[in-house]
A and B are shown apart, each in its own frame.
Chain A
Amino acid sequence: MAVVLLPGLLASEAGGRKRFEIEAATVGEALRGLPVADLVLDERGEVRPLVHLYLDGERARDLDAPVEATSRILIVAAIAGG
Chain B
Amino acid sequence: MGVLLVVGTRKGLFLIRGDDERRSFEVEGPLLPGWSINHATVDPRDGALYACANSWVYGGTVQRSTDLGKTWQRSEGLGLPEDSELKLASTWHLEPGHASEPGTLWLGGEPAVLFRSDDSGESWQVNDGVLGHETRDKWNPGAGGLITHSITLDPDDAKRLWIGISAAGVFRTEDAGESWQAANQGTEACFFPEDPFPPVGQCVHKVLAHPGKPGRLWQQNHCGVYRSDDGGASWERLDTNGLPSAFGFAIALDPSDPDTAFVIPEESAENRVTCDGRLGIYRTTDAGASWDLIVAAEPAWAAVLREGMSFDDEAVYAGTQSGHVYVLRHDEVVEAARHLPPVLSIEASALA
Contact = CB atoms under 8 A, between A and B. Distances in A.
A and B physically associate: yes
Interface stretch (A22-30, A36-44, A62-70): A36-44
A10 B87 contact: no
B34 A39 contact: no
A48 B346 CA distance: 29
A38 B57 CA distance: 12
B34 A80 contact: no
Nearest to A80: B56
Contact of B34 (A12, A43, A44): A12
Nearest to B76: A38
Contact of A48 (B34, B59, B76, B82): B59
A50 B56 contact: yes
B58 A44 contact: no
Nearest to A42: B87
Contact of B79 (A9, A42, A78): A42
B144 interface: no
B320 interface: no
A77 interface: yes
Nearest to A13: B74
A39 B55 CA distance: 9
A39 B58 contact: yes
Interface string A44-77: 1000101100000000000000000000000001
Interface residues of A, number: 19
Contact of B57 (A12, A43, A48): A48
A51 B58 contact: yes
Nearest to A36: B58
B61 interface: yes
A4 to B, nearest CB: 15
A13 B61 CA distance: 11
A51 B57 CA distance: 6
A8 interface: yes
A9 B55 contact: yes
Contacts of A50: 56-57
B131 interface: no
A42 B59 contact: yes
B58 A9 contact: yes
A40 B58 contact: yes
Given A9-B34, A13-B74, A44-B87, A39 B82 contact: no
A25 B8 CA distance: 41
Interface string A10-36: 101100000000000000000000001
Given A9-B34, A12-B34, A77 B57 contact: yes
Query: By CB atoms of chain A within 10 A, which of B33, B58, B78 has the most?
Result: B58
Given A8-B34, A38-B77, A43 B87 contact: yes
B317 to A, nearest CB: 26
A36 B63 CA distance: 13
Contacts of B88: 42-43
28 contacts: A8-B34, A9-B55, A9-B57, A9-B58, A10-B58, A12-B33, A12-B34, A13-B74, A38-B78, A39-B55, A39-B58, A39-B59, A39-B61, A42-B79, A42-B87, A42-B88, A43-B78, A43-B79, A43-B80, A43-B88, A44-B79, A44-B82, A48-B57, A48-B59, A50-B56, A50-B57, A78-B57, A80-B57
Given A38-B74, A43-B80, A80-B56, 14 more contacts: A9-B55, A9-B58, A40-B58, A42-B79, A42-B88, A43-B79, A44-B79, A48-B58, A50-B57, A51-B57, A51-B58, A77-B57, A78-B57, A80-B57
Q: When A and B form their complex, which 4 residue pairs have the shortest distance between CB atoms, in order from nearest?
A: A43-B79, A39-B58, A9-B34, A77-B57
